[in-house]
């Protein structure tokens, strides 16, 4: 089974995460495929927008597939992972045509990061957006990713959402500007995504492309060195306990080491 489905219709590329049995939890291969897809979008007007969604009716994407973290043995594994995520998000941001995240259901962890890197986010009323890692896994987010999120939601709200591990619902997400529209259900969501993609396809492509890139560059202050923080989180006993508790559907016991 293809983990990512892709179809081009009338100048719109429809991308769908396709692991519904795992609420579309993202494998490393899925991350790479999405990055490659975004990098390969042509600028000859044959593609005018990209819409990203999740299969199965329950989730856009419920973060990274946790089984992959069992292979983490040394600090460099954690640094390589965060670098991989940043490269994928940068590829989404640099996609030369507008990207729309059509979010139905759970949008957490890596899925929330991908949605945040898209140009426009619309969601169904059952949206649950966030990074509940302080409750579930005990890992961390890179400084660059936190900068992205702070630009979307504001630094204060990012702190509160991450520290409390709560998930943001659709109405709150619209109020703070995280999403632009709330649709009643998945069918209405996808119909609106189609309408919006077609509308964007009528806009001046160079205007859209240059605004996208200029806004991306606005964030490109030198990133702080957070390697010590990434290694501290991913190499901790707490992260190992959180990962195994998540996979066994039990509650982790945090020991702070």
- CATH number, position 65: 3.90.226.10
Are 87 and 151 in contact by the 8 Å Cβ rule? The answer is no
Q: Say if 148 falls within a structural domain.
A: yes
Secondary structure class of 123 (helix, strand, coil) = strand
Whether residue 257 is contained in a domain is answered as no
Tokens at 13, concatenated:
């590329």
Distance CA 139, CA 120 (A): 28
- Determine the Cα–Cα distance for residues 184 and 32; give it in Å rounded to an integer: 32
Would residue 204 count as lying in a domain?
no
Domain of residue 34, residue span: 4-187
In a domain, 255, yes or no: no
Q: Give the pLDDT confidence score for residue 219 in this predicted structure.
A: 81
Query: Does residue 79 sit within a domain?
Result: yes
* 15 close to 24: Cβ distance less than 8 angstroms: no
State how far the Cα of 97 lies from the Cα of 209, in Å rounded to an integer. 6
**Residue 88 pairs with which residues in a beta bridge?**
none
Q: For residues 233 and 72, what is the distance between their CA atoms, to the nearest angstrom?
A: 12
CA distances from 128 to 109, 152, 253 (A): 11, 16, 25
Contact at 8 Å (CB) between 129 and 107? yes
Residue 25: predicted pLDDT: 96
Contacts of 128 (CB under 8 A, 6+ apart): 105, 106, 107, 108, 167, 168, 169
Q: Is residue 60 part of a domain?
A: yes
Q: In the prediction, which pLDDT does 90 show? A: 95
Residue 232 within a domain:
no
Is 56 in contact with 106 (CB distance < 8 Å)? Answer: no
Residue 220 confidence (pLDDT)? 77
CA distance 24 to 61: 5
Look at residue 29 and tell me if it is in a domain: yes
- Reference 114, options 91, 80, 98; nearest CA is 91
First CA to last CA distance, the chain: 40
Q: Which two tokens stand for residue 107?
A: 């949008």
Backbone torsions φ then ψ of 111, nearest 5 degrees: -65, -40
Is-contact 147 219, C-beta < 8 A?
yes
**Total domains present in the chain:** 1
Q: What is the pTM of this model?
A: 0.92
Handedness of CA 173, 179, 184, 190 (dihedral sign): negative
Give the chain's residues under pLDDT 50. none
């Amino acid at each position: 089974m293809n983990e990512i489905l892709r179809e081009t219709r009338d100048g719109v590329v429809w991308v769908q995460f396709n692991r519904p049995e795992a609420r579309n939890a993202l494998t490393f291969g899925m991350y790479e495929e999405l990055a490659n897809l975004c990098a390969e979008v042509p600028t000859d007007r044959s593609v005018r927008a990209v819409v990203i969604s999740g299969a199965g009716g329950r989730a856009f994407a419920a973060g990274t597939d946790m089984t992959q973290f069992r292979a983490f043995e040394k600090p460099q594994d954690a640094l390589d992972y965060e670098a991989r995520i940043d490269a994928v998000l940068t590829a989404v941001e640099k996609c030369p045509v507008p990207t729309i995240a059509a979010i139905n259901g759970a949008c957490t962890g890596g899925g929330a990061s991908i949605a945040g890197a898209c140009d426009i986010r619309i969601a169904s009323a059952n949206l649950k957006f966030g990074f509940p890692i302080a409750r579930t896994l005990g890992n961390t987010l890179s400084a660059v990713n936190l900068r992205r999120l702070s630009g979307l939601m504001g630094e204060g709200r990012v702190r509160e959402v991450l520290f409390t591990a709560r998930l943001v619902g659709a109405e709150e997400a619209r109020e703070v500007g995280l999403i632009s529209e709330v649709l009643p259900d998945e069918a209405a969501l996808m119909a609106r995504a189609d309408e919006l993609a077609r509308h964007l396809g009528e806009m001046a492509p160079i205007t859209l492309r240059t605004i996208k890139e200029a806004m991306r560059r606005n964030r490109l202050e030198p990133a702080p060195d957070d390697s010590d923080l990434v290694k501290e989180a991913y190499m901790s006993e707490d992260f190992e306990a959180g990962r195994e508790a998540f996979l066994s559907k039990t509650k982790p016991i945090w020991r702070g080491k």
